[in-house]
Amino acid sequence: MENIKKRILFNDLVKYFGNKEALVITGMRQVGKTTLMRQVFDWAGDCPKLWFDFENPLDVKFFEDIDYNNVYKNLEKTAKKSARSRLTVFIDEIQIYPETTKIIKYLIDHYRVKFIVTGSSNYYLKNLFSESLSGRKFLFELPTLSFREYLYFKGKIEEKEALTGEISKALCNSDIFNHKKFEADYDDFVHYGGFPAAVLETDFDVKKQILKNIFSSFFEKDLKILSDYKDIQELRDLLLLLAPRIGSLIDVTRLASELGTNRPKIYRYLEFLQGAFVIKLLPRHAKTIDKAVAGGRKAYFSDTGLLQVMGGVNDAQLFENAVINQLFGYGKVSFYNKRNTAEIDAILDKKIAFEIKLTGTPQDVLRLQKLAADVKIPAQYVISKKFAEGKNFISPVVL
């Protein structure tokens, strides 16, 4: 797998390889979790190691013995482990057999076995690992490709340039040269998102089909947790209702009315979709935690390519969604709503205010500065898809 480029997360994973804790890689389907883990497997070299794919029932059988000591003996024998060496076990799609977490805990505590595992949905991985592996895991989320990673995968920049780094450094690179250099790439990124298979495909019709298949896979596999078919239908319809509402406050009462269901169910669906990495719920900026929790939220899709599959979204919403996803790579993101009369699209780590516009104007800067002053946000920038001159304008290609 040497010819396949490595995700930036690879460097973090190998950094913790020597620790006793299990490394858990989670994220949406098709973001490259299996490929990433296979690259770590190859990187590990000649150490005693085993690979299990839990979509294969024969691999699951290895962990079905009720005597965990027997499980270890079988693993040790299969790996041909010497007395002093440490056994490393890689498991793909661990959520298929949840009981494995108890075995992992036991083998970590009694035999120092190193585990690297993947799972497709945080929604049930949270319950899976919260108690069973408390204090014995490092959890890593693998998102779709960031724009910097997109450029790296396309061969436009070097690996070190794909590192997210500090937001201050990114903001310093906003100039007409960088904007023009990557403008076409950014258009492609906004419209087709960051799933590696879609990014590396050059045929646009095939790109669209890949995204449709990913969306179908979510319903076929990740929704197994919802046994009620009516719930699955409602969840699908909720996604279709959320798409054209990108950038707007979530009105739970109205969504419940349109779906013919109740508010608690809508809240449950929203949390499920966020836990399954399909959407991000953006909180309202507030001075206190209580107000932040009580305030309304906005929903954004974790990948704009997936959002395009939904349909019903305009260019401004698509661009806003892409930028919000980019900002998430730098820290905590919130928004500010002033009594439903004015808004700041995004606030990063309570320090930088951003307005997101297809074409930014000086008036946008003045309006943003005034609003930011109300909530004491020291720095303000207008992110304009069309390049705009001025120190308060930023091109999205540098994020």
The pLDDT assigned to 157 comes to 96
> What's the average model confidence in pLDDT over 24-53?
96
> What's the average model confidence in pLDDT over 275-301?
79
Using 50, 70 and 90 to split pLDDT, how confident is the model at 180? very high
Spatial contact of 222 and 276, defined as CB atoms under 8 Å apart: yes
Helices (H), 143-224: 147-153, 167-172, 176-192, 196-200, 204-221
SS3 label, residue 303: coil
Domains and CATH numbers, the chain: 9-141 (3.40.50.300), 147-398 (no CATH)
- What pTM did the predictor assign? 0.93
Q: In the chain, pLDDT over 70 holds for what percent of residues?
A: 94
DSSP tag of 397:
G
The pLDDT assigned to 193 comes to 98
- Decide which of 126 and 102 is more confident: 102
Low-confidence winner among 57-71, 130-144, 185-199 (lowest mean pLDDT)? 130-144
Short-list 313, 254, 243, 321, CA closest to 282: 321
User: What count of other Cβ atoms lies within 10 Å of the Cβ of residue 160?
Assistant: 8
Mind listing the pLDDT tens digit for each residue in 154-173? 999 999 999 888 899 889 88
The pLDDT assigned to 288 comes to 58
pLDDT at position 218 over 90 = no
- CB neighbours of 123 closer than 8 A, spacing ≥ 6? 222, 225, 271, 272, 275, 276
> What's the average model confidence in pLDDT over 194-199?
97
The pLDDT assigned to 341 comes to 86
The pLDDT assigned to 287 comes to 63
Q: Residue 35 carries which side chain, given as an amino acid letter?
A: T
